[in-house]
């Protein structure tokens, strides 16, 4: 990656002129050669090769994910996580719920006194954990400062050695670079820890100052305290991440670039596959071969027009509108919109099939669907908008909201857990190349 980064991108990406076409041709030849070489790999080696590549690549993200923070910050991180949790509990405790007076938690009703007490206790706990985190960070900062001073002394010694011994020039230069990198890393670490310490103290002071007013039960004061608690919890979460980046995090962008290139190859392979299938259809004049001709026509016209539009600077004035207005907005956009618009008409017949009253369950589903369909649109709001006071729960929009936020959410969560476990199993199977299917069942 270092090799790629030090060469200016402009060398590889000419924007116009003959060099561009040379580059396009060279890339096409290179891609075809690469694919040909891959296909020439004997079948018995191909699967192990894919398995090894998948397995090794998976390790990067696994390790990056598994090392949540530098080891020295683990304890502080844990205290900060607890402090953040308690601040969020406190914020939630003084948030008005259903049954509270408008905009505030009243100590006299709806368990308000207990909730305010819980908020006070949570703030005290958060303060305790923040103090512990601050002490811990101050401790490790002192240690890293000592390391930094020691590393600087080492660097100085190497400088002297570099000047004194001619024979050691090359070797000591490399060593010096390493030590220089180490001093830079330690300096940054000390600075990050110092910043984190400052932010923790700042948030702690804000929370303690605001929480002094917790006994004040006015809506404005409670809103203000909630804002401070929320901001402090977010601030602490940010502080946690600022001391948590591990040594692999910085390699994510190059990894991202490599994967983008692989994604580009997959698009190329997809096009190649489509061209092969449709080419055979045309060559053998199979039924519906004219659709394959349409595919070729669309592919070639769009590709050529896009290239001309992008790179033909001195093109006649009709070229740009041809691509942008006729092919892109006029054809592609309209075709895609038409495809999806058909769904509206299918829904009408699908809705009838799904909502035929065949049993009690289907009747219940239909009733729920009616309420949701009406409650979500303005006309539903208008139909029952007159209901107020103790009857307001009968309003269609309120029932719709209840259906979406209670039974729907419970069902969705159940499914999400199932999908999550299934996804984990599937990810492991792919990573370890245990997955069977059209890809691995066939001998490549």
Partner 1 sequence: MYVVLAVVTTTILYTTWLRQPIEVTPEVKKAYQTVEHLPKNKIVLVSIWWGPGTVAENRPQMEAVVRHCFMRGVPVVILPWDQVGSNLAYNRVEQVAKEMGKVYGRDWAAFGFRPAADQAVLGLRSDFQGTFKRDRFNTPLSEIPVMKNIKNWQQIGAIVETTPSATVGLWINFIGQPYKIPIIYCPTGVMVPEGYNFLDAGQIKGMLPGLIGAAKYEYILKQPGFATRAANALSVSHLLIILLIILGNLGYIAAGKK
Near partner 1 in 406-435, by CB under 8 A: 408-409, 412-413, 416
Q: Is there binding between residue 360 and partner 1 (CB under 8 A)?
A: no
Spatial CB neighbours of 151, under 8 Å, sequence gap ≥ 6: 179, 182, 183, 186
H helix or E strand, kind and range, residue 154: helix 112-164
Q: Is there binding between residue 162 and partner 1 (CB under 8 A)?
A: no
Q: Is there binding between residue 389 and partner 1 (CB under 8 A)?
A: no
Q: Is there binding between residue 366 and partner 1 (CB under 8 A)?
A: yes
Give the whole-angstrom CA distance, residue 430 versus residue 53: 12
Confirm if 403 and 372 have CB atoms less than 8 A apart.
yes
Binding span for partner 1 by CB under 8 A among 37-45, 127-135, 200-208, 405-413: 405-413
Binding span for partner 1 by CB under 8 A among 105-113, 177-185, 282-290, 370-378: 370-378
Binding span for partner 1 by CB under 8 A among 101-109, 113-121, 203-211, 249-257: 249-257
User: Which x/- pattern over 2-31 shows residues binding partner 1 (rule: CB under 8 A)?
Assistant: -------x-----x----------------
Question: What is the closest distance, in whole angstroms, from the C-beta atom of residue 426 to partner 1 in the complex?
Answer: 15
Task: Give the count of residues interacting with partner 1 (CB under 8 A).
Answer: 60
Give the whole-angstrom CA distance, residue 373 versus residue 339: 24
Residue recorded with tokens 């001309």: 308
DSSP state of 28: H
State how far the alpha carbon of 247 is from the alpha carbons of 1, 65, 243, 258, in Å.
16, 11, 12, 19
Record the tokens describing residue 380, joined without a space: 């539903």
Give the whole-angstrom CA distance, residue 163 versus residue 170: 11
Q: Is there binding between residue 157 and partner 1 (CB under 8 A)?
A: no
Based on CB atoms, which residue is closest to partner 1, 136 or 397? 397
* Residue (of 400, 402, 393) closest to 375 by Cα position: 400
Give the whole-angstrom CA distance, residue 311 versus residue 21: 10
Based on CB atoms, which residue is closest to partner 1, 259 or 300? 259
Give the whole-angstrom CA distance, residue 188 versus residue 227: 32
Give the whole-angstrom CA distance, residue 155 versus residue 162: 10
Question: What is the closest distance, in whole angstroms, from the C-beta atom of residue 166 to partner 1 in the complex?
Answer: 39
Residue of the chain from 328, 402, 431, 440 that contacts partner 1 (CB under 8 A): 328
Record the tokens describing residue 359, joined without a space: 């049993």
Based on CB atoms, which residue is closest to partner 1, 318 or 352? 352
Based on CB atoms, which residue is closest to partner 1, 103 or 279? 103
Q: Is there binding between residue 249 and partner 1 (CB under 8 A)?
A: yes
Record the tokens describing residue 51, joined without a space: 């398995």
Q: Is there binding between residue 56 and partner 1 (CB under 8 A)?
A: no
Record the tokens describing residue 235, joined without a space: 């601030």
Q: How far from the centroid of its chain's Cα atoms is residue 114's Cα?
A: 39
Binding span for partner 1 by CB under 8 A among 161-169, 282-290, 397-405, 433-441: 397-405
Based on CB atoms, which residue is closest to partner 1, 56 or 379? 379
Q: Is there binding between residue 355 and partner 1 (CB under 8 A)?
A: yes
* Residue (of 371, 372, 395, 370) closest to 384 by Cα position: 395
Question: What is the closest distance, in whole angstroms, from the C-beta atom of residue 338 to partner 1 in the complex?
Answer: 8
Residue of the chain from 345, 360, 361, 438 that contacts partner 1 (CB under 8 A): 345
CA contacts within 13 A on the Cβ side of 246: 15
Q: Is there binding between residue 245 and partner 1 (CB under 8 A)?
A: yes
Question: What is the closest distance, in whole angstroms, from the C-beta atom of residue 417 to partner 1 in the complex?
Answer: 11
Q: Is there binding between residue 351 and partner 1 (CB under 8 A)?
A: yes
Record the tokens describing residue 341, joined without a space: 């618009």
Q: Is there binding between residue 385 and partner 1 (CB under 8 A)?
A: yes
Q: Is there binding between residue 311 and partner 1 (CB under 8 A)?
A: no
* Residue (of 4, 3, 2) closest to 261 by Cα position: 4
Rg (alpha carbons) of the chain, rounded to whole number: 32
Residue of the chain from 209, 215, 257, 276 that contacts partner 1 (CB under 8 A): 257
Confirm if 55 and 187 have CB atoms less than 8 A apart.
no
Chain residues in the site for partner 1 (CB under 8 A): 9, 15, 234, 237-238, 241, 245, 249-250, 252-253, 255-257, 259-260, 263-264, 267, 328-329, 332-337, 339-340, 344-345, 347-348, 351-352, 355-358, 366, 370, 373-374, 376-382, 385, 397, 401, 404-405, 408-409, 412-413, 416
């Amino acid at each position: 990656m270092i090799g790629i980064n030090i060469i200016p991108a402009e060398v590889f990406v000419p924007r116009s002129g003959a060099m561009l076409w040379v580059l396009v041709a060279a890339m096409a030849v290179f891609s075809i050669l690469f694919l040909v070489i891959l296909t020439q790999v004997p079948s018995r080696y191909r699967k192990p090769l894919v398995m090894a590549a998948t397995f090794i690549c998976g390790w990067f993200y696994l390790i990056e994910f598994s090392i949540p923070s530098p080891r020295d910050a683990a304890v502080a991180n844990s205290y900060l996580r607890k402090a953040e949790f308690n601040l969020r509990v406190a914020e939630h405790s003084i948030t008005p719920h259903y049954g509270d007076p408008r905009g505030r938690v009243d100590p006299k009703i709806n368990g308000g006194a207990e909730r305010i007490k819980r908020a006070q206790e949570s703030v005290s706990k958060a303060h305790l954990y923040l103090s512990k985190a601050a002490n811990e960070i101050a401790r490790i900062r002192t240690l890293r400062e000592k390391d930094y001073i020691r590393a600087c002394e080492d660097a100085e010694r190497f400088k002297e050695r570099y000047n004194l011994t001619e024979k050691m020039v090359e070797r000591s230069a490399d060593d010096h670079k390493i030590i220089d990198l180490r001093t830079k890393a330690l300096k940054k670490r000390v600075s990050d820890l110092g910043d984190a310490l400052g932010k923790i103290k700042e948030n702690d002071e804000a929370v303690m100052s605001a929480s002094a007013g917790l006994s004040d039960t006015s809506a404005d004061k409670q809103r203000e305290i909630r804002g401070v608690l929320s901001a402090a919890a977010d601030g602490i979460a940010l502080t946690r991440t600022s001391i948590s980046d591990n040594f692999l995090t910085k390699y994510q962008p190059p990894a991202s670039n490599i994967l983008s290139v692989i994604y580009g190859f997959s698009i190329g392979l997809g096009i190649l596959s489509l061209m092969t299938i449709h080419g055979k259809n045309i060559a053998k004049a199979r039924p519906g071969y004219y659709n394959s001709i349409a595919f070729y026509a669309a592919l070639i016209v769009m590709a050529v027009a896009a290239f001309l539009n992008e790179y033909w600077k001195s093109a006649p004035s009709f070229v740009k509108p041809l691509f942008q207005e006729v092919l892109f907005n006029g054809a592609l956009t309209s075709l895609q919109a038409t495809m999806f618009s058909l769904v509206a008409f299918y829904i009408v017949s699908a809705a009838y099939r799904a909502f035929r009253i065949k049993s009690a369950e289907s009747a219940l589903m239909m009733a729920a669907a009616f309420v949701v369909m009406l409650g979500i649109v303005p006309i539903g709001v208008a139909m029952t908008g007159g209901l107020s006071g103790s009857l307001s729960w009968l309003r269609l929009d309120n029932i719709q909201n209840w259906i979406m936020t209670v039974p729907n959410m419970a069902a969705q969560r159940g499914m999400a857990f199932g999908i999550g476990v299934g996804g984990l199993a599937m990810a492991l199977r792919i990573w370890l190349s245990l997955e069977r299917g059209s890809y691995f069942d066939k001998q490549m």
